[in-house]
Amino acid sequence: MSFASPVKASLKRIAFVTGAGQGIGRAIATRLARDGYDVSIADIPAAQSKVDDVLSEIKSYGREAISVHADVREPKQLESAIAETVDKLGPRLFVSVANAGVTQVKPLLECTPEFIGNEVRINLLGLMNTHIFAAKQMVKQGFGGRIVGAGSIASYRTAENLGPYGATKFAVRGFTEAAAKEWAQYGIRVNAYGPGIVDTPMWDHIDRELARIEGISVGDAKALRVKRDIKLGRIQQPEDVAKLVSFLVSDEGEYITGQTIKTCGGASL
Ligand SMILES: NC(=O)c1ccc[n+]([C@@H]2O[C@H](COP(=O)([O-])OP(=O)(O)OC[C@H]3O[C@@H](n4cnc5c(N)ncnc54)[C@H](O)[C@@H]3O)[C@@H](O)[C@H]2O)c1
């Protein structure tokens, strides 16, 4: 297993990634930088110190890197984030990755409208608005683009205590298909990644919450599912997801659009 990828020559194109301060977003942003993209990271102000660290890594590859504040729940902030990206780095946005997302763990009978609304605003509305603002810029530029979103294994199979999360990820799959159909005429391909159990702060949170609900020790909920479900025998690393994104936006993926592709070590089987 290798997560190292070579630092390639500059493509003179920009990749915009939301929620790239940590976890999967960080791995995607740094991988795309090594692939040759200059990178703009959109995250919330609370993540700024982590984002600064990601920017340093990207710059160490000889790439340009900026951060723009955007809470993906706020469409105006997203629109400004894309505008600021293009103002600062030039009108050459080619990749947009709507990665920001949250998971909240609760039995459905305990879910409040506020709880559900927050998850929908981040995971679904945030993704749809990110895709649309990015596509508008790509259409204006006139040389196509690649749009990728965060789906999940839960885009195909939901789980107890993760009902609203699964519903948002099912919807991501639907929106990915619709956007791919509408934007193919502009040379824009739209896909999504569908990870399983990735070793990020998000799964640490899921583990703690499941441990509480199931009355087991912290760490055991994750360990049990990795052992039981993942056929390839190890937890997924964020870089496993970044490899798929790198492929999807490359010319190697030129015939793939409208897909939510499972990358889950066989957990969905
Ligand atoms: N970790 C997994 O096992 C897993 C599996 C399938 C899908 N996913 C999806 O992949 C994506 C990334 O997951 P992760 O595990 O890296 O998560 P994470 O919690 O480790 O990181 C999420 C990032 O998003 C940012 N963020 C949170 N709310 C935001 C908002 N309102 N606006 C802008 N940024 C915001 C955070 O600051 C952070 O940088 C999510 O969409 C998630 O649903 C994760």
Q: Kindly give the pairing relationship between strand 65-69 and strand 38-43.
A: parallel
pTM score, whole prediction: 0.98
Catalytic annotation present for 156: no
Instruction: Tell me, in angstroms, the distance from the centre of ligand 1 to residue 67's CA.
Output: 17
Q: How far is residue 98's CA from residue 95's CA, in Å, rounded to a whole number?
A: 10
- Ligand 1 pocket test: which of 24, 68, 197, 204 has the largest number of ligand atoms within 8 Å of its C-beta? 24
Q: How far is residue 35's CA from residue 29's CA, in Å, rounded to a whole number?
A: 10
Instruction: Tell me, in angstroms, the distance from the centre of ligand 1 to residue 250's CA.
Output: 23
The single residue of 37, 61, 156, 165 carrying the catalytic annotation is: 165
Q: How far is residue 95's CA from residue 138's CA, in Å, rounded to a whole number?
A: 9
Helices (H) and strands (E) in the chain, counts: 9, 7
Q: What percent of the chain has pLDDT over 70?
A: 99
Confidence label for 4 from pLDDT (cuts 50, 70 and 90): confident
Question: Which domains does the chain carry?
Answer: 14-196+237-263 (3.40.50.720)
DSSP annotation of 108 reads G
Residue 73's Cβ-count burial label (10 Å; 0-12, 13-18, 19+) is middle
Neighbours of 15 (CB within 10 A): 30
- The per-residue pLDDT for range 25-75, each reduced to its tens digit, is 999 999 999 999 999 999 999 999 999 999 999 999 999 999 999 999 999
- The per-residue pLDDT for range 167-220, each reduced to its tens digit, is 999 999 999 999 999 999 999 999 999 999 999 999 999 999 999 999 999 999
Sequence-ordered alpha helix ranges (H) in the chain: 23-35, 48-60, 75-89, 113-119, 126-141, 163-183, 201-214, 220-229, 238-249
